[in-house]
Structure 1
């Protein structure tokens, strides 16, 4: 998990995105501030296992060209949130593939990399699209 977080933070840096890692009460949501090319990540989130997904989600807001600040709320309430979720999923999948991680089924991938359950259908589609890979 630590290596994945490092990968995501380096990915952000390589794309001109600054990261502020903070510790606040669990109700404080992580946020992307696209106008500043900054993501603020609360390391004390309710579900610490989803932290890499949250980081990827906030990166996704900026990489997708969103213009408004977006707080991570844990559910896609609009198309920008959904696209940020998908960006994070694909970014983590890319990382796992580059590490030669192998999984017999998508559920194990979700558990291993802290992918939220709401992404289950998307994970299964991703695996189906890439079934010719070593995965």
Structure 2
């Protein structure tokens, strides 16, 4: 199992522990990485999305929307620093991944390397 697979497994289990479902599908538009639905308490991840190294972050980001109580359908397309609820989901997503790394005693000394290992978009490195 790759580091990304292990991270995704951790995040899916974390979601289940918090009452959230996760579905992986290839039936979404190629431009859409994933989305979350507060009503369904669920996350959908597009397995056909072009940026496969970011899958783990997308799962964590969408979990952030559910934890934050963001209403409606929240679609992930690219990391945003300017939209309030997207920024908050980014912060929560990074926090989930950092907690995972800490549990495994993975050092967080280099933000860029950490982003690359866990598929966090580099534009979000300052959140680490």
How does the TM-score come out when normalised to structure 2?
0.90
Higher RCO (Cα < 8 Å, 6 or more apart): 2
**After TM superposition, what 4+ stretches of structure 1 lie above 3 angstroms from structure 2?**
none
The separation in 2 between residues aligned to 1:21 and 1:99, in whole angstroms, is 25
* 2:44 is equivalent to residue 40 of structure 1: yes
Match of residue 69 from structure 1 = 73
2:36/2:62 contact within 8 Å kept: yes
What RMSD, in angstroms, separates the aligned Cα atoms of the two structures? 1.3
Q: 112-121 or 68-77, which moves further after superposition?
A: 68-77
TM normalised by structure 1 equals 0.85
| Shift, 1:44, TM fit | 1.8
- Residue 108 of structure 1 aligns to a residue whose secondary structure is helix
Gaps of 5+ in 2: none
- CA distance in structure 2 between the aligned counterparts of 1:62 and 1:118, rounded to whole angstroms: 22
Residues 51-88 of structure 1, C-alpha deviations (whole Å, 9 max, x = no match): 00000011110001111210001132511111001110
